[in-house]
Structure 1
């Protein structure tokens, strides 16, 4: 092929030839490389004049950079500089082409992931194109995911996390504006750019956490730092990460659709024709609906692992309370509430005592306060067993004065009683004896919600502290336990070590039955630990290796728990009657097996199964109450009981009657995907569609409706001759039809 066809206007063909034999066409490539350098200098002076030619040359060199690594060593740095320094003046098509070429260089391993990410991260806040922003975001996430696919790429993760830290800390020194000063925040370019950088850092960290690519303390530290950013939007997105929702993330669109009702799907399947395809579709819909509901319940329960990975929870909580009290006038009520929720969850999870929070929240405790259920839920979940009762007594008094009196509605009274119950569940010593007697008296109310709330409070104190109840209100079991000196522990005391595990004998019998079925112990243990393991994010190379100790030298090891190496240690008697003995009635399984979380869940299920069998066989109120308690324990085990939702405060409520707009909306929703009204009977097999005749309709009428009609009466009064004629006509018609 003559070299004359390799003109400047035919770069694709030259690119194809060079890929086949790079050495044979080195001179032609160097010619285009020199042309690229010349046009690049002209492009800096006048970007619009040489835009198309320059874009084609950049794409050409990007495709062939791997063939000539020495000649194109400076090309990736030049391309990155063009994107970062001249991004605003570049035409939109040139920007997208340069970004795609940079991604191509990374795909061909011409540049590293760090070089590409250092170029793409600064472009995100400056990009106005939705498609280009989506391309950059997808590229960054996929590159980090591929790098951590098999093993954790700690080097890359540290570099990326350092960049995200820098994006968050870039605007931390600016003045705090608040969401009530939105006009000022928008007009301030420095604050707006810093907010965009920090927002993108939070978005990437949340997405990588959600995909389980990052699950270490550094990721949590990035978002914990962003919780105190001057831009309220960044604060809100960071706080919602710890609360377990993506409400303020504009780049993510959470779905609130929970799917159809499971009972409706099952009923529809029973009515319709039975097919295997229908069974598969039903099973698929049920799995999808359950998955969506589990995701919603997880978001309501909060991001508990992230809360546990906070570096300094006490300082974090104090800074949250400081921002809440200092910038109260600059923050809207909704933002103050989510700060209260996060602060309360940190206090409850880490057993923190930030006593100023209870003084601060008292002024919000009024029944006419907006979003009062969320505030009461935050107040209740901030309490724990180490909270001083003296601090909580004024709060409970204020709740009882504002919510529990005859001048408010039944829902308000129920909310107040439920809040006090949740507070006392965590700290029973905050309740006064006289006040408890007044609150428990509401169990005789006519409203079911109030009655249920008061009975729940009464049942709680029957279990935790029956001594402050009146004698007639303690119940049989609580009175018997109180007379046997089973009092509740004072404030500050801890429960003694447990001597036995309730229901362990059921687990031992269950394992024996599995042994009879030839199920191996190794497979049981592997199945028990499944879904309960947490992948370690620590660097395996930094961990010290195991030290091999010879069995012969084990006697030479000296072990001492004293500060002095010469301390004398008296021998401990280990007689045969003291060694290896267990309390009477305790199964030996506790000494042979390490119980996993799955084992404890299985123990609870086995206890529920045994209690259900007893209730079905004998009945009785005592066994029914025990069964209800076990089911409640399973509920609290599956959902974290430390977190409280608004439904726990409001309690079970009556169904509110729908107004006119809601009824019309329900009617319109029912008419969707439905054909027009009217009967289709008699229209299927006709050339001209029409309805059935009156004679056809009369045939299907019930006899009781037509027994008084003239036609029926005429048949009864017909003579013998008329009956014979009618029978003859019927026989002739039947013959003709055959």
Structure 2
């Protein structure tokens, strides 16, 4: 009896004893289990009564549940149903205890991941405690990451993705209110349901974005979840989904990684000066500073989520729905939100080469130089155009740009932005430009402003390359005129170029590899010496030796120049014509080109372009070299979406703004680094090494009676009026120089 009373009053001691001997203390456990069931029935009716004792019993049973699996088989479902049904009436301490013990049961493999997540997902939007919300979020992400650590857990992923998709889909029938004003203060079941659905959808989008960012989910299903969020009636959910595709995050959500505070550089340097000077300390300081700089740089970078845009299911329907929302709720959305929709729509149209012709009619009303955030609108316009866009739909837009941005009544920066926007549109669809309008626009290359001149020259150079026939003869340039004379004409709209027969510059790579093989005797591309590298890649041959029509036939090498024709006259004509074809490299047919080979090919092309520039190749060679170097930088930076443009491409080069007082003082302080004090080192006191005073200092301190008979004083007394005037003028000029 004494033992039972003692164990009943001390649950931690009983828990320790049960883990050591589950069979010996089974009766004591059953006693506590019955006590838990009775307390639970009371707790459902009156949650405030015996709440502390109920939490202790739940924690105790969770710890020893693995020792008695048959008796506690219904325990996890009881906790889960209590959380889901009575979450609003539970106290914060009880909620936290139940969630923590449910997670403990998952860690002990008492319940599966799907059962845990089915309990955590519904209560995440209803949680008001920041600490509990962070705990639930970290638990969900960690559980999914652990399940997909070694291999993809498709069963769990499908179940979780179905839950997230349902969380977003439940609020899709609501009314689109917009984001110009807050929701009207109303109460009732409909308002509460709408708010709950919006929070539920928001958390579904946040968790999906986090799982995508960490590389746990990389297929099309999470993209479909966030794509559905782009059409959600709640603007907050819609904005978060759009930011996912644009590659930026408007809201800074706390992730499951530990939040690192901003590094105080001055404090680190101060601590380094005080502490003991060691090499390891210097290296540690440098590592911290480098990591902080890299983190700051990555935080400011923002690029489009190109893989997610490519994984969109039915992008044409997606783009049409985006335009429908943009056009229908134009008066309800703020300008910032409309620009987000424009940017996403334009990037989808550009990457998938879609035609949503109503977008160009819609965007015309925002093409004004006084429009707020007009550079972002111009970027969206340029990115939506591609080579399959009908020129008739883009020509009015180009004309409106020229009327609003390119005329003498606006500033030079506006003219430069308009010309750059027209250039980017015409780069993607050259047939949208009118010949008369082009002649007027390129006249701005004679402007006195640097930005307008550069923009007009860029437009002129573009049409010299894509369609020089629209330019006057004197404006075409040498290369374009020679191309037109030889019969090279731009392809009409809707026509595609001929199939490529060679890779540009591949002969340079072939000659380089041949040269290395001759010098070092190393095989670098012969198909006969690397048979071992083709193991598993050979074409399956027939096991039988009979001559069948379905097998491969060897063609003798001496029959390479055969010409097949049914007409004897065509055959004789083909054989009699002299052959002068350009060199076509065969390296691509004998060797699989790796990314390293293409990098080497790019370097060889840059070297050849450098030689052409040094030999006086002219502006054409310089432009070719600049293009090759820009492509190399883009490849090194890993810019998969290099065809996306930014606002800097529209604004062009701008004059440096005048620095304010704070910037000037910062520049001054930056120049004083490494100097202790600004003062002259001349003289005995301020020198690094002490020395005596100079003769000039000694002469200055001499008594007047000692210098009265000196030549200098006598010369001043005997000086003429002309000499005195010259000396005075010299003194005045020197004083002016000292003041300035």
Q: Name the TM-score class by shorter chain.
A: 0.7 to 0.9
2:167/2:201 contact within 8 Å kept: yes
For residues 374-385 of structure 1, the aligned pairs below 5 Å read 374-385=376-387
Q: Distance in 1 between matches of 2:706 and 2:287?
A: 57
Q: 591, 597, 600: which one pairs with 2:598? A: 600
1:440/1:458 contact within 8 Å kept: yes
Residues 259-284 of structure 1: per-residue CA shift (max 9 Å, x gap):
999xxx9xxxxxxx997875786577
CA spacing shift, 1:392–1:70, aligned 2, 3 Å: same
CA spacing shift, 1:94–1:275, aligned 2, 3 Å: closer
Q: Distance in 2 between matches of 1:712 and 1:499?
A: 98
Q: Distance in 2 between matches of 1:440 and 1:704?
A: 70
CA spacing shift, 1:645–1:714, aligned 2, 3 Å: farther
- Corresponding position of 1:192: 195
1:6/1:13 contact within 8 Å kept: no
Q: Distance in 2 between matches of 1:257 and 1:444?
A: 52
**Structure 1, unpaired ranges of 5+:** 266-272, 523-545, 561-570, 682-691, 719-738
- Corresponding position of 1:372: 374
Whether 1:552 and 2:550 are equivalent positions in the alignment is no
Q: What secondary structure, in the 3-state scheme, does the structure 2 residue paired with 1:415 have?
A: helix
Cα distance, 1:85 vs structure 2: 1.1
Q: Distance in 2 between matches of 1:69 and 1:205?
A: 34
Cα distance, 1:7 vs structure 2: 2.3
- Corresponding position of 1:39: 39
Q: 438, 441, 446: which one pairs with 1:439? A: 441
- Corresponding position of 2:646: 645
Cα distance, 1:86 vs structure 2: 1.3
TM-score (norm. length: structure 1): 0.80
Residues 373-418 of structure 1: per-residue CA shift (max 9 Å, x gap):
0000000000000011111111111000000011101110000000
For residues 197-276 of structure 1, the aligned pairs below 5 Å read 197-248=200-251, 250-251=253-254
2:19/2:64 contact within 8 Å kept: yes
- Corresponding position of 2:626: 628
Cα distance, 1:237 vs structure 2: 0.3
Q: Distance in 1 between matches of 2:623 and 2:227?
A: 44
Q: CA RMSD in A?
A: 4.2
Q: Distance in 2 between matches of 1:628 and 1:394?
A: 33
2:343/2:380 contact within 8 Å kept: yes
Residues 55-110 of structure 1: per-residue CA shift (max 9 Å, x gap):
11101110111111100000000010111111111111111111111111000100
Q: Distance in 2 between matches of 1:667 and 1:61?
A: 66
Q: What secondary structure, in the 3-state scheme, does the structure 2 residue paired with 1:552 have?
A: coil
Number of equivalenced pairs = 661
Q: Distance in 1 between matches of 2:105 and 2:431?
A: 67
- Corresponding position of 1:316: 318
Q: Distance in 2 between matches of 1:143 and 1:234?
A: 25
- Corresponding position of 2:453: 451
For residues 122-161 of structure 1, the aligned pairs below 5 Å read 122-161=122-161
Q: Which moved more, 1:421-430 or 1:629-638?
A: 629-638
Q: 491, 494, 497: which one pairs with 2:496? A: 494
CA spacing shift, 1:715–1:675, aligned 2, 3 Å: farther
Residues 604-660 of structure 1: per-residue CA shift (max 9 Å, x gap):
233224433554677854533321121233355553232121111111111112345
Residues 570-621 of structure 1: per-residue CA shift (max 9 Å, x gap):
x999982158999752232110233345543442233224433554677854
2:177/2:183 contact within 8 Å kept: no
Q: Distance in 2 between matches of 1:190 and 1:42?
A: 30
TM-score (norm. length: structure 2): 0.80
Residues 661-718 of structure 1: per-residue CA shift (max 9 Å, x gap):
7667x5899799x99997899xxxxxxxxxx999634867995974752269999999
1:615/1:624 contact within 8 Å kept: yes
**Structure 2, unpaired ranges of 5+:** 270-276, 526-536, 564-578, 710-740
2:684/2:692 contact within 8 Å kept: no
CA spacing shift, 1:11–1:283, aligned 2, 3 Å: closer
Q: Distance in 2 between matches of 1:226 and 1:207?
A: 15
Q: Which moved more, 1:231-240 or 1:480-489?
A: 480-489
Residues 171-215 of structure 1: per-residue CA shift (max 9 Å, x gap):
101111111242228863222111100000000110010011101
- Corresponding position of 1:710: 701
